């Protein structure tokens, strides 16, 4: 596995980990009241839907701005970890967001460098 594949695997692990962990927590592990489920999931999982297509297609630009989204989720995870009743949720949230962040950062760096190298090695016209 090369560096780009490793970074992509980290990104997908963190991204889909968050997409699965959040609903799993609220619906099965520590269920919340039925009247709050849809709004809670919309607010917490909804932002992850914006970069979904670009992440799946391996677009460098999407990975780059998704780093900011990962930081947002990290801050939310730390906020949840600060309360004893939601500490487990917060720690899981934080760990997955760090994996997502590191994956997007590494993928952006390595894939961007590979794309630049392939552009520079392309056909040159000598005049």
- Give tens-digit pLDDT for 61-113: 999 999 999 999 999 999 999 989 889 999 999 999 999 999 999 999 999 89
- Cα radius of gyration (the chain): 18
- Is residue 48 assigned to a domain? yes
Q: Looking at the 3D structure of the chain, how many domains does it have?
A: 1
- Is residue 13 assigned to a domain? yes
As given in the structure block, the two tokens for residue 86 are 């939601």
Which structural domain range is residue 98 located in? 3-114
- Is residue 105 assigned to a domain? yes
Q: How confident is the model at residue 6 (pLDDT cuts 50, 70, 90)?
A: very high
E-assigned strands of 1-127?
A: none
Q: Alpha-carbon distance 16 to 106, whole Å?
A: 17
Q: Alpha-carbon distance 40 to 52, whole Å?
A: 19
What is the value of pTM for the model shown?
A: 0.88
Yes or no: say if 13 and 103 are a contact pair by the CB < 8 Å rule.
yes
Phi, psi for 48 (deg, rounded to 5): -70, -15
- Give tens-digit pLDDT for 10-48: 999 999 999 999 999 888 888 788 888 888 889 999 999
Q: How confident is the model at residue 127 (pLDDT cuts 50, 70, 90)?
A: very low
Torsion of CA 97, 98, 103, 109, to 10 degrees: 120
- Is residue 31 assigned to a domain? yes
- Is residue 124 assigned to a domain? no
């Amino acid at each position: 596995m090369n560096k780009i594949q490793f970074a992509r695997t980290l990104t997908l692990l963190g991204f889909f980990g968050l997409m699965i962990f959040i609903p799993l927590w609220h619906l099965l592990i520590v269920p919340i009241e039925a009247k709050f489920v849809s709004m809670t999931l919309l607010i917490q999982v909804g932002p992850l839907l914006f970069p979904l297509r670009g992440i799946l297609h391996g677009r460098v630009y999407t990975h780059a701005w998704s780093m900011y989204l990962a930081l947002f989720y990290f801050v939310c995870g730390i906020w949840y970890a600060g309360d004893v009743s939601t500490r487990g949720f917060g720690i899981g949230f934080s760990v997955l967001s760090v994996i997502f962040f590191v994956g997007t950062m590494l993928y952006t760096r390595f894939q961007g460098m590979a794309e630049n190298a392939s552009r520079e090695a392309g056909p040159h016209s000598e005049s």
